[in-house]
Chains A and B, each alone.
Chain A
Amino acid sequence: MTEGRTRLRPPRHWLDRRARAWWRAQLAVSGAVPALPLVVLGVLIEPARTWLLVPAAVVLAATVLAVVALPPWWYRLHRWEVTDRAVYARGGVLWQTWRVAPMSRIQTVDTTRGPLQRAFGLSTVTVTTASSAGAVKIEGLDHERAADLSEELTRITHETPGDAT
């Protein structure tokens, strides 16, 4: 065992640049969901106006701040890489998580697209193994790249021997 300073290197690839816009949209939507009813009610119900509009303003301010600041930060932290032997991805923000799944243990490769992702031309690739805790998810890839990747992964896993458990 080498007593050096061993560290994980970041995976090679970045997500698609549009992932930032996708995250912004997500944050905007999740901020608007509580804020809009508050604003509407605040306009309609005069006696409670202050009590409704002040929280709405707070939520909107926080949303704007999040939309501006968070996506670039997240973008720096999320990376992925596929080699002949393994899928490697880094994610998480306050809890950084690195996931490794070897090709020989991969069972399924799924590509999914939510409605928001579709609007930005993005896809999510999920690689599962025989362990329910072992899935590796790469969210925010260009959808054509994701399709190619999932095809390639399926091919490699078929060529790699192993019983998956």
Chain B
Amino acid sequence: MSEDDGSWQSLHRDTLKVTAIVVAGVAVGAGVPTAVGIGSATSDGVALAWVLPGMLLLVAGAVLLDYLRWRHTRYRVTDHLMELRKGVVMTTRRSLARERIRTVDLSANPVLRVFGLVKVNIGTGDGRSGGGSSPTEQTIVLDPVGRAAGERLRADLLDRARRADDPDGSTLATWDPFWIRYAPLSFWTFALAAFAVGAMFQVLDWFGRGGLPVEVVMDIAEDIGAWSTLGLALGVFVTAGVVGTLAVYVEGWWNYRLEREPGGTLRVRRGLLTTRSVSLEEQRIRGVQIVEPLGVRSAGAARVDVVTTGLKNDPTSDLSTLLPAAPRPLAARITAQVAGVDAEPSLRPHPRSARVRRLRWAVVADIVLVAIVVLLAAATPLPGFWVAVFSIVAALTCAGAVAAAVDAYRALGHRLDAHYLVARQGSVRRATVFLQRQGIIGWRISQSVFQRRAGLITVTATTAAGARRYSIIDADEHEILDVAAEAVPDLLDPFLIRD
């Protein structure tokens, strides 16, 4: 362990201050309610005498642990390796071959930023299973180092491929504050509002007043009438959701910047309080995906995700987002610049029977919905007001389902060009994927009993990148096999018969 020849470096020692502040924050957050609780039962003096030493002990303990961690963590970068040594009792040593390092991501929460520090995540992106933290995944986390040191590491570790003929870096897109208007158009608006309502009930419940909101709403309803109350409640609900999504969006995407760096790396930088920097090696990119959720699409905007190996397959993560919801022409330009494809290709539509299928689903859903409402109205003593509300909601949903079915069919399409397989689908979440043909590493073709009767088939290309599979759904059962056979030469052909 005493092989210190000066090449080993330690983490930044300000980590102790950061830990102290973070733990102190937690201690205050937990200590104040406790003190209030004890204080109300005994006296303020007794409460302080118990809680203050406890808080101090917590902070001191955390700082001590962090000191030991800091003391025993060393890293170094040699010509071929990135090495990390850590552990107080059990010493572990991890080394990554430098040429296998694919990602170097920097992030800094507000406390780290105050001290000019960053957390560095170095990975080989070898997540074989793609399902989270597989043992084969090799990562080194440096938490924290100085900002300058972090930037230098990033440049050193990713710049190895730099050649003389490489063009200099360029900025592909920067943040436009007007993009904020697309943020509330996502479904998160409803999710966050629902979360806020849930949290309100929970907090009131802690104080034993869980029924309070209901009483308040009933009082208002008596004053201004049921319909006005419903409108008011909807207004408050939507406002809460809009405020929530705006806050999340601004925190995540403030100062967004997409750059192409020398050495063939794309870099996304963003964040208001916590800053993030994600680097993607272009050599590992297997395609792009243009995602247009319903609300964003109706505002003429689109998001661009990258399909790359080396990122975990986590649908909730936004690390793969190259461009947040932005005007469509810009999304098209970014798509073209990153993948070299036409972002508005003319796609081959799918058979009409795919449309019949979608309409059939919509009609079945409508029938079920109507049956439920009729049953509710007939068999339960539901007040007339609620019957009216449910009927309106049901009527809107029924119409919406049919419209979505027609729209979903219109979205279906595919195309094969020199380098990419293009597939589009979805109404509520329309996604157009441009998948590199050489990134396809297998096929999964499936056909349900209903699809067979309609002459349709779903062809899924499997890949090591992005979501690991991209499907062309409900395509013509004969034509799409030719497309798949052509997309990857010699793979599917031996298993096909043509007559």
Within 8 A of A (CB), among B442-499: 442-449, 452, 460, 462-465, 468-469, 477-479, 481-483, 485-486, 488, 490-492, 494-499
Q: Are A7 and B442 in contact (CB under 8 A)?
A: no
Q: When each residue 273-291 of chain B gets 1 if its CB lies under 8 Å from chain A and 0 otherwise, what string results? A: 0000000000000000000
Within 8 A of A (CB), among B117-160: 128-131
Within 8 A of B (CB), among A74-111: 81, 83, 85-86, 88, 92, 94-102, 105, 107
Q: Which of A19-27, A124-132, A144-152 contacts B (4 or more CB under 8 A)?
A: A124-132
Q: Are B445 and A130 in contact (CB under 8 A)?
A: no
Chain A residues, CB < 8 A from B444: 97-100, 133-134
Q: Are A4 and B445 in contact (CB under 8 A)?
A: no
CB of B313 closer than 8 Å to a CB of A: yes
Query: A-B contact count, CB below 8 Å?
Result: 128
Bound-complex Cα distance A2 to B493 (A): 13
Q: Are B442 and A100 in contact (CB under 8 A)?
A: yes
Query: For residue A7, which residue of chain B has the nearest CB?
Result: B497
Chain B residues, CB < 8 A from A98: 443-446, 495
Which of A9, A86, A94, A131 is B449 in contact with, Cβ under 8 Å?
Answer: A94
CB distance from B88 to the nearest CB of A (A): 36
Q: Are A133 and B460 in contact (CB under 8 A)?
A: yes
Query: For residue B467, which residue of chain A has the nearest CB?
Result: A133
Which of A4, A83, A94, A132 is B499 in contact with, Cβ under 8 Å?
Answer: A4
Q: Are A96 and B128 in contact (CB under 8 A)?
A: no
Q: When each residue 1-43 of chain A gets 1 if its CB lies under 8 Å from chain B and 0 otherwise, what string results? A: 1111111110100000000000000000000000000000000
Which of B449, B468, B478, B497 is A132 in contact with, Cβ under 8 Å?
Answer: B468
Bound-complex Cα distance A134 to B441 (A): 8
Q: Are A96 and B446 in contact (CB under 8 A)?
A: yes
CB of B432 closer than 8 Å to a CB of A: no
Chain B residues, CB < 8 A from A6: 478-479, 481-482, 485, 496-498
Q: Are B497 and A131 in contact (CB under 8 A)?
A: no
Chain A residues, CB < 8 A from B320: none
Chain A residues proximal to chain B, CB less than 8 Å = 1-9, 11, 81, 83, 85-86, 88, 92, 94-102, 105, 107, 128-134, 136, 164-165
CB distance from A94 to the nearest CB of B (A): 5
CB of B335 closer than 8 Å to a CB of A: no
Bound-complex Cα distance A165 to B126 (A): 10
Bound-complex Cα distance A98 to B492 (A): 11
CB distance from B351 to the nearest CB of A (A): 14
CB distance from B475 to the nearest CB of A (A): 12
Q: Are A94 and B443 in contact (CB under 8 A)?
A: no
CB of B309 closer than 8 Å to a CB of A: yes
Q: Are A132 and B129 in contact (CB under 8 A)?
A: yes
Q: Are A131 and B462 in contact (CB under 8 A)?
A: yes
Which of A81, A83, A85, A102 is B441 in contact with, Cβ under 8 Å?
Answer: A102
Chain A residues, CB < 8 A from B309: 130, 165
Chain B residues, CB < 8 A from A4: 478, 498-499
Whether A83 touches B497, Cβ cut-off 8 Å, given contacts A107-B128, A129-B441, A132-B468, is no
Q: Are B445 and A8 in contact (CB under 8 A)?
A: yes
CB pairs A–B below 8 angstroms (24 shown): A3-B479, A5-B499, A6-B496, A7-B498, A7-B499, A8-B481, A8-B496, A9-B495, A92-B446, A95-B446, A96-B446, A96-B452, A100-B444, A101-B441, A105-B442, A129-B441, A129-B464, A131-B462, A132-B313, A133-B460, A133-B462, A134-B469, A165-B309, A165-B465
